[in-house]
Amino acid sequence: MRQIDHFIAGGAGSGGTGRTHQVWNPSTGEVQAEVALGDAALLDRAIAQAKKVQPEWAATNPQRRARVMFEFKRLVEQHKQELAELLSSEHGKVVDDAHGDVQRGLEVIEFACGIPQALKGEYTNGAGPGIDVYSMRQPLGIGAGITPFNFPAMIPMWMFGMAIAAGNAFILKPSERDPSVPIRLAELFVEAGAPEGLLQVVNGDKEMVDAILDHRDIAAVSFVGSSDIAQYIYERGAANGKRVQAFGGAKNHGVVMPDADLEQVVNDLAGAAFGSAGERCMALPVVVPVGDETADRLREKLIPAINALRVGVSNDPDAHYGPVVTPEHKARIEKWIDTAEAEGAEVVIDGRGFSLQGHEDGFFVGPTLLDRVTPDMESYKEEIFGPVLQIVRAKDFEHALRLPSEHQYGNGVAIFTRNGHAAREFANRVIVGMVGINVPIPVPVSYHSFGGWKRSGFGDIDQYGMEGLRFWTKSKKVTQRWPDGGGDGSNAFVIPTMG
Ligand code: NAD
């Protein structure tokens, strides 16, 4: 059985609790590896190494730091296919999707290559007689990231790209369900010229997470995962005096106005609701047609499009989506479909009990369409995180606007319409962090920032872009006064003259 260790001080690091966690191949249903679960002593070793290298890295001029980021970007591009295949074999998303996972992470690395420009501070000349004021952003020291299973390349790069370019050392605790790509990224980072210990990977479960939250030498923690854990991380980290941002679950709605281009909407929904088997925090699992007539027309077009989706193993180039991550997750999704049915939703297309010929042990869930879902249903209130699309019929625009606004999650939302006024009104009033107008998955580009509202995001600073830079740095404000010496020349600043 393949053993996956940690990545400490530039190389494989062993040790920890002695406990391991199974890493599946979701397409075959076999355990393909075991990952070691670390403990507080292992974290101490990583911190000791980070402390050795971080001060010199922080003192390295930003242009030189950017060169390491450039080289890392080149290496990840060079190894993209290998990374995508490795990722897909542990996660289950199809290789094409895995390429997207790596690519969206790389875009933040590209942004981090501009760190010399991004770190320039503010300056006021002559704030008073002989007085200037300037501010600078300095690194925090050691930062940590705790990441979910569903984007094992992108989310680690979102975090460590910004943290390290800003001058910090970084400790990554990836998901124990697909830990190999984060380790491979850390190896490439050393190959790119980063000091050994600047980026380290400690594997583990709650025990390691708690060690991170309690460690006095970790200044900031960025978390992405489910909401209850996000809230726990936020509260425990903050109680220990750390800076914390913690992003949680989602239930994104797509509002379809009567004037929307339904062909386009159906095409967008096929990707946004079912791509990556719905295991995306920016998936679109709820569609809200405005008016029964729109709902009926949409449903009629959705049924053949969903039935045409091809579910396959993760390296099937023709598959639309692959298996879900673990057998427990498959069971959980199917249970949510049971619940929805029991609550009175109409199961229009049923993905339960789906089996892929030749891969009967894989963790596949067929595409599912539920109609006549209502806001009081538990299956609407909670995140399902699977290939399940729910139709919630809205009476009118105001009703459609209220649904995502009143939902416990506020990550992303979309509106499909040809009416600019309706779109503008919706974007201004909806109580959700990221809005798409005729864009089903509105993940902002790397030079903007990413973050949801309500139970989708705890803390007040978003990820990547300039917000990410603010999260990973603290600002210092300097007020300086250089008086002239009072006329006798003894204390005067002497301006050198030529000749
Ligand atoms: P998860 O919450 O189970 O795990 C996330 C991380 O927390 C992992 O590293 C895990 O080891 C750790 N963890 C798990 N249980 C813990 C516990 N009891 N105490 C401390 N740490 C614990 O999430 P997941 O299943 O890996 O990822 C899917 C979730 O992440 C979904 O809810 C999804 O919406 C969310 N997500 C959110 C965003 C966002 O930006 N808002 C992005 C991606 C995923």
Domain that holds residue 342: 253-437
User: What number of CA atoms fall less than 13 Å from residue 138's CA on the CB side?
Assistant: 11
Cβ contacts of residue 199 below 8 Å, gap of 6+?
7, 160, 164, 169, 170, 172, 185, 186, 189, 190
Does one domain contain both 306 and 219?
no
Co-location of 141 and 262 in the same domain:
no
Q: What is the pLDDT of residue 290?
A: 98
71 lies in the same domain as 200: yes
Compute, in angstroms, the gap from residue 224 CA to the centroid of ligand 1.
Answer: 6
Are 269 and 197 within one domain? no
- Per the domain annotation, does 221 fall within a domain? yes
Q: Are residue 258 and residue 405 in the same domain, yes or no?
A: yes
Yes or no: say if 388 and 333 are a contact pair by the CB < 8 Å rule. Answer: yes
Residue 107: the pLDDT is 98
57 Cβ contact partners less than 8 Å away, ≥ 6 residues apart:
65, 164, 167, 169, 195, 198
Among 367, 401, 353, residue whose Cα is nearest residue 269: 367
Q: What angle do CA 326, 327, 330 make, to 5 degrees?
A: 90
Residues 129 and 36 in one domain: yes
Query: So which residues are the catalytic ones?
Result: 281
Q: Does residue 494 fall inside a structural domain? A: no
Examine residue 450 and state whether it is found in any structural domain, yes or no: no
Whether 247 and 223 have beta carbons less than 8 Å apart is answered as yes
Q: How many separate domains does the chain show?
A: 2
Considering the chain, what is the average pLDDT of its residues?
96
Is 356 in contact with 366 (CB distance < 8 Å)? no
Q: Domain for residue 448, yes or no? A: no
Regarding whether 232 and 153 lie in a shared domain, the answer is yes
Residue whose CA lies nearest to ligand 1 atom number 20: 206
Tell me which of 14-28, 200-214, 303-317 is least confident: 14-28
What is the distance between the terminal CA atoms of the chain, rounded to a whole angstrom? 77
In a domain, 335, yes or no: yes
Distance from C-alpha of 124 to C-alpha of 137, rounded to nearest angstrom = 16
Quick: pLDDT tens for 155-166: 999 999 999 999
Give yes or no: residues 433 and 469 share one domain: no
In a domain, 451, yes or no: no
pLDDT in tens, 437-474: 999 999 999 999 999 999 999 999 999 999 999 999 99
Band the pLDDT of 12: cuts 50, 70, 90. Answer: confident
Same domain, 138 and 265: no
Q: Is 398 within a domain?
A: yes
Please report, for the domain that includes residue 421, its CATH number.
3.40.309.10
Residue 493: pLDDT over 80: no
Closest CA to 152 of 116, 185, 178: 178
Ligand 1, atom 28, residue with closest C-alpha: 225
Residue 491 predicted with pLDDT over 60: no
pLDDT higher than threshold 80 for residue 494:
no
Tell me, yes or no, whether 361 and 432 share the same domain: yes
Handedness of CA 441, 442, 447, 453 (dihedral sign): negative
Asked whether the beta carbons of 43 and 35 are under 8 A apart, the reply is no
Distance in Å, CA 149 to ligand 1 centroid: 7
Q: Which residues line ligand 1 (CB under 6 A)?
A: 146-151, 173, 175-176, 205-206, 209, 224-226, 229, 247-250, 281, 383, 385, 411, 452, 456
The label of the residue with tokens 């386009």 reads: 264
Contacts (Cβ under 8 Å, ≥6 apart) of 396: 290, 291
Distance 90 CA to ligand 1 centre (A): 16
Strand-pair category, 453-454 with 409-410: antiparallel
User: Which residue, by CA, sits nearest to atom 33 of ligand 1?
Assistant: 249
Q: What is the pLDDT of residues 139-192, one digit of tens each?
A: 999 999 999 999 999 999 999 999 999 999 999 999 999 999 999 999 999 999
Query: Based on the domain organization, do 317 and 244 belong to the same domain?
Result: no
Q: Are residues 334 and 379 in the same domain?
A: yes
- 3-state SS track over 24-73: EECCCCEEEEEEECCCHHHHHHHHHHHHHHHHHHHHCCHHHHHHHHHHHH
The confidence score (pLDDT) of residue 496 equals: 61
> What residues contact 255, with CB distance under 8 A and at least 6 apart?
288, 290, 394, 400, 401, 403, 404, 413, 414, 415, 416, 426
With respect to residue 39, please indicate whether it lies within any of the assigned structural domains.
yes
CATH classification of the domain holding 236: 3.40.605.10
